[in-house]
Amino acid sequence: EVQLVQSGAEVKKPGESLKISCKGSGYSFTSYWIGWVRQMPGKGLEWMGIIYPGDSDTRYSPSFQGQVTISADKSISTAYLQWSSLKASDTAMYYCARHRDGYNSGLGYWGQGTLVTVSS
Amino acid sequence: DIQMTQSPSSLCASVGDRVTITCRASQSISSCLNWYQQKPGKAPNLLIYAASSLQSGVPSRFSGSGSGTDFTLTISSLQPEDFATYYCQQSYSSPQTFGQGTKVEI
């Protein structure tokens, strides 16, 4: 069974750094794209970027390029989303999701979400 | 970036109704269009991929159609568990943008 398990909720102050994780199991971690999706409170879904763990090929939305870093450690089947300096506007739920098949396929498997709260 | 525009933004319907949601892309995306359902407090769930293919485990009352720039999600007979927000997403090119969502309410 394919599973994506995300790290727990975080409460941070503006300016702090953060790295959240998404551990895949039940499939070949290096063979499927994993994406990150933001959902701000009461708002819609925003595609942030994706990574192919097999070769670390990474694509970012222009809206998030330079604001976050997506990475993966294939030795432990885990993808990451990190910030070097959080802002209050980063407060949101963040989902990781695995593509159903290839790059052009839908996001067929989702993590449970990680709630990030940034407040002074 | 490819812009995805859904309509309507919300709709009111009753159990048993036929519901149609449309999604328009700002340029041709072939059949690289996916539909998701999201219920409050839950992660989204893939319903339809490649414009018209039903994801495993999804009830057959859900169907998708279209290609190029215009797409449709149809729920043939709305059930109580279908009240949720629905999103389209293009997976043709990066960034793989979502539509703004359509909330289906009673």
Q: Which residues of B touch A108 (CB under 8 A)?
A: 46, 49, 55
Residue A107 β-bridge partners = A99
Tell me the backbone φ, ψ of residue A111, rounded to 5 degrees: -75, 175
Of the listed ranges A47-56, A98-107, B88-97, the one predicted with least confidence: A98-107
Q: Is the pLDDT score of A10 beyond 90?
A: yes
Q: Does B40 touch chain A (CB under 8 A)?
A: no
How far is the CA of B12 from the CAs of A59, B8, B9, B83, B106, in angstroms?
Answer: 38, 10, 11, 10, 5
Q: Is the pLDDT score of A43 beyond 90?
A: yes
| Mean pLDDT score across all residues of chain A | 97
Instruction: Give pLDDT, residue B45.
Output: 98
Q: Is the pLDDT score of A115 beyond 90?
A: yes
Residue A70 β-bridge partners = A81
- CB atoms closer than 10 angstroms to residue A18: 18
Instruction: Give pLDDT, residue B21.
Output: 98
Q: Is the pLDDT score of B5 beyond 90?
A: yes
Check CB contact under 8 Å for A44 and B36: no
Q: Is the pLDDT score of A12 beyond 90?
A: yes
Q: Tell me which residue of A48, A51, A83 sits closest to A67, measured CA to CA.
A: A83
Within 8 A by CB and 6+ apart from B93, the residues are B2, B29
| Mean pLDDT score across all residues of chain B | 97
Q: Is the pLDDT score of B71 beyond 90?
A: yes
Q: Is the pLDDT score of A103 beyond 90?
A: no
pLDDT tens digits for range A51-90: 999 999 999 999 999 999 999 999 999 999 999 999 999 9
Instruction: Give pLDDT, residue B106.
Output: 81
Q: Is A1 helix (H, G, I), strand (E, B) or coil?
A: coil
Tell me, what amino acid is at B82? D
Q: Does B98 touch chain A (CB under 8 A)?
A: yes
Within 8 A by CB and 6+ apart from B57, the residues are none
How far is the CA of B58 from the CAs of B24, B28, B35, B45, in angstroms?
Answer: 23, 27, 12, 9
Q: Which residues of B touch A61 (CB under 8 A)?
A: 1, 94-95, 97
Pairing state between β B10-12 and B102-105: parallel
* Shortest Cα distance, chain A CAs vs residue B49, angstroms: 6
CB B84 within 8 A of CB B104: yes
Q: How far is CA A26 from the centre of its chain?
A: 18
User: Shortest CB distance from A47 goes to which of B43, B50, B96?
Assistant: B96
Q: Is A94 helix (H, G, I), strand (E, B) or coil?
A: strand
